[in-house]
Structure 1
């Protein structure tokens, strides 16, 4: 640009090229077009180093995330796809719009993505959880451009994290235990009882007693005969397999996080909020039309009164 001269061209696309973007470090170029492909170019060798052909329609927009490790592309088929350049694999695929996506933008943290579509909506995606978190309505025409604020978000978060009125540090007595009891705001001494057995360790205690019984049976059989030793080893294998199955099955239920029913409920709530937002938008449009009609009636009435006064 400074020398105002042509440098080189990249011409492996077989149809119109709709978008091209430099990576944050300037070493790569991502391009997309109507040939349903997203191509990755090396600026030093001027060669196409990768080509993603997973698009089912024309690719309308492409961009890098802030770290340059992923690229995303949108298509006329209302799909949004994200590829990892380190593994050259598709890692996320979103189908949240009902029309072609014209533009999108990564958040500076690369944890969120905002997209604008021909369906007149703006949608914000949480890339860490892989779901839609918000839909913005209000545009009456096609939406062509979206972007996040370029202000450094880390400085902003640090500024808001400072307390205006510092509070005293929390105390252990401020944490409610599992069993309900009277909560005292003042610090109270905490006593730990070593004789109590939590309910969470009952299963572990039972399994430990089973192991002890099996160990005693094994030692007795070992002191007996070879046939007893054989049966003891078989029992040991069965006992070990049973304990492994128990240890593998039960913790999965604890570490699985939110149950599927809760996820379904949250998705249903988000859908209902989306419908409610659309309803409020329609009501606002009708209220605006009513106000315009009332204004016209008042103007017409005042004009009639002025004409009557002039005629008198």
Structure 2
């Protein structure tokens, strides 16, 4: 029976072995790797990534990463390829074949067929002397000294190395294509991540009410405006320009400091330097401003004029926080 300490040591050792394997990959970023990057950048078609067993699973992840970062990619299972899926390979495509040994039966059958298709082959392989490596146009060396598995059998360290090499390749392609935040947003429109990349202040502020008073408005009317709009603040606007802001906090401070409030006006209690944000800014930038200034709402402006209010609750509701 393993003790708590035994389990802890086993886990730490596995992580150290995999970390060491990834570190060792830096030695394999060579001309072969660089030329493979240039070859992928030059193609007019797609990247077809194939593998068998655990390598096939890694191939699917690399395909997903490339597609989301501007490099069109398709997964082709090595076993299915020889039963019809080879038809997905076009003349302008490039094939990345992933295999630890590079000598599996499926790979030995597949590679000659790939050669006949005229598509260039990139071998991501853990044996640079293997059949796959010798037949490939480019070699991405993912050799590891041993698996994290104590039997040195289950693909663990080797698949981690493949995954890391795939990430390195995808990031190089991303940078070479000058892939931007806007590009990323186009491929990730759903979920919280997508919203952080495309949702703008106007998208949220336009759905809120637009509380406002003038600098001469009496305190009673100010209180009514704040209460009925439920945004915790009201903009003080004169001639379409923002003169200040009054928040719930300003109201509480007023009540602490003044015994008689009947004669007070908005200008007497407003904050005269409110934080504002352009309505076309990303909502995530509004969140950063709120955090940096320890506030819960911002006044949005359009061409210098008052546009509306964006509240922290809006960002929470959209899942941006």
TM-score, length-scaled by structure 1: 0.18
Structure number, greater radius of gyration: 1
> Relative contact order: is structure 1 or structure 2 higher (C-alpha 8 Å, sep ≥ 6)?
2
Q: Higher strand proportion, which one?
A: 1
- TM-score between the two structures when normalised by the length of structure 2: 0.17
